[in-house]
Amino acid sequence: MIDSDGYRANVAIVLTNENRQVFWAGRAGRRGWQFPQGGVEKDETPLAAMYRELEEEIGLREDDVELLGQTSDWLRYDLPERYRRSRSYPVCVGQKQLWYLLRLNSDIDAICFDTGDKPEFDRWCWVDFWYPLRKVIFFKRQVYRQALEELGNHLFDGNPPPKRGSKRRSRITRVELC
């Protein structure tokens, strides 16, 4: 759904483990990495969209996770001109996202990328909380910063670690398609 200002309604998922690391996923057949995200369909609530995207993109169901928090409002980013589909109608100028913080309660073997027709991701790893800010595509950085600052309060009891934390990946796990 694209609103009257040209923003596509979207949900984004920050999945964390027991060590407070976050799930960082590599786009299938591409170099980019990001958090799972996806559009809100007509007549769908953002929460329902989040659980649908969770299952479609990484194979997890509602009972595999615990909902820890969400952003208090929609966060927006603009797409650079070269990423806009100017021949589609209505023209999407960017995305507005509600962000959700989830804790994985299942074994990592539950993560699976081929539950949908076309897998969004083909690899993943656990990374330190602020790592995505340094690695996400440039036009998403500000919204990632806003989301992590707000959601970090839920994960770290109001006291997220400093942003200039370790630059290393704490654990790298490659996953083959199920």
- The DSSP secondary-structure symbol of 106 reads S
pLDDT value of residue 52? 97
**1-32, pLDDT tens digit by residue?**
888 888 999 999 999 999 999 999 999 999 99
Bridge-based pairing of strands 7-16 and 94-104 is parallel
pLDDT value of residue 164? 63
Q: Higher pLDDT residue, 67 or 172?
A: 67
> What are the residue boundaries of the structural domains of the chain, listed by start?
7-155
The structural architecture, per CATH, of the domain 7-155 is: Alpha-Beta Complex (3.90)
| 91, pLDDT greater than 80 | no
Q: Please state the rounded mean pLDDT for residues 153-163.
A: 88
Residue with tokens 């919204």: 143
Q: Three-state SS for 177?
A: coil
Residue with tokens 């081929």: 114
80 preceded by cis ω (within 30°)? no
pTM for the structure as a whole: 0.88
Strand stretches in the chain, DSSP E: 7-16, 22-27, 33-34, 37-39, 65-70, 75-78, 94-104, 121-127
**29-62, pLDDT tens digit by residue?**
999 999 999 999 999 999 999 999 999 999 999 9
